[in-house]
Structure 1
Amino acid sequence: MIEQDRALYRPLWTVSFDEAVTLVRAGIAAAMRHQVKDLLVDTTALRGFPSPGTFQRFLMAVEWAEEASGRIRLAMVALGEMIHAQKFGVTVAFNRGLVNNVFTTELEALAWLDVEPGKGSPTRRQ
C-alpha cells in the first residue's frame, strides 16, 4: 500500500529466513520504483524460521542497504524475539547508508518515520 511518500508492506507467509530477506528486498525495490521516501515493513506475520544469528543479520543488513542505495528510509516491525538487543542489523545497514530502525509495533515505526530525515541516530526512540 502506498500513501503519498510512504509505502507499507506486510508480507504474510511461512518462509525460510533467506526467503524473508528476499521478500523485504523486493519490498524495498518496489518502493523505490514508486519513488517513495519511506517504507514500513511489518514482518510479524512471517513464520517458518528462528531468530537469525549475527552473521545472518549482517548479510541481511548489507543486502537491504545495497538495494536501498541510500534513497529510502526503512522502518521494520518485528516480533520482539527477532530483534537483536543492540540492534546489530540496524547498525550494519546504517553504516552502509540505509537510514533504518526496527520496532515491535507499527505505531512506534510510524512515529519514527514521522521524524524529519537526518534528525538523530537510526536508533533514536520517540
Structure 2
Amino acid sequence: MSDDFDFECLDAERRFALFNLSGAIALHEGVARVAKVIAAATARGYHGLVVDIRGIAGFEPPGVGARHEMVRTWAAVAGPRLRLVMVTRPEFIDPERFAMVAARNFGLVANVFETRAEALYWLRSESLLDP
C-alpha cells in the first residue's frame, strides 16, 4: 500500500493526526480514499484520526445505506485502538448520527462534527476512557 499520506500532528502525546481530503471526488472514491488513510494512520500507530472533508465536492450527502456501508468499510481497516472523527459541512451530518451508531456496532469508535476544534475536544475526551 502506498504511504503517501500527509498527516498533520494534532497531539503528539496522545498520537492524534489530521488528514485533509478535498476536491471533486465520487462518493465511492472518497470512501476508498478514507479507508486507505485509516489504514495508514493505524499502521503509523495513531490512536485518533481527524479526517476533514469540508473541501470535498462531487456528490450529495449519502443516504442511510451508503452511510452504513461506509462505516463498515472503515471499521474493517481501523483496528481496535483508532478513534475516527470526520469533520464535514452541516448538510452531510445526519441529525440522528446513524452512521456513528452503526460504526460502533462494527467496532469503530467514531463521531462527526462541523469543526476541527469540536473533533479534537471529543478525541481528547474519549482518550480519557482508555484503560
Using the size of structure 2 for normalisation, the TM-score is: 0.86
- Using the alignment, how far apart are the partners of 1:118 and 1:57 within structure 2? 28
Deviations 1:74-101 (A, max 9, x none): 1110111011110111110111111110
Q: Cα RMSD between the aligned structures?
A: 1.3
Q: Which amino acid aligns with 1:44?
A: R
Q: Which amino acid aligns with 2:117?
A: L
Deviation at 1:2, TM superposition (A): 4.2
Q: By percentage of residues, which structure has more strand? A: 2
- Displaced runs of 4+ in structure 1, greater than 4 A? none
- Using the alignment, how far apart are the partners of 2:100 and 2:36 within structure 1? 18
Q: Which amino acid aligns with 1:96?
A: F
Sequence identity of aligned pairs in percent?
A: 37
User: Is 1:45 aligned to residue 55 of structure 2?
Assistant: yes
User: Which residue, out of 19, 26, 29, partners 1:19?
Assistant: 29
- Contiguous gaps of at least 5 residues in structure 1: 120-126
Verify the 8 A CA contact 2:84 2:111 in the aligned structure 1.
yes
CA distance change for structure 1 residues 14 and 60 in 2, over 3 Å: closer, same or farther? Answer: same
For residue 4 of structure 2, what is the aligned residue in structure 1? none
Q: Which amino acid aligns with 1:103?
A: F
For residue 81 of structure 1, what is the aligned residue in structure 2? 91
User: Is 1:96 aligned to residue 106 of structure 2?
Assistant: yes
Q: Which amino acid aligns with 1:14?
A: A
- Using the alignment, how far apart are the partners of 1:11 and 1:98 within structure 2? 20
Using the size of structure 1 for normalisation, the TM-score is: 0.89
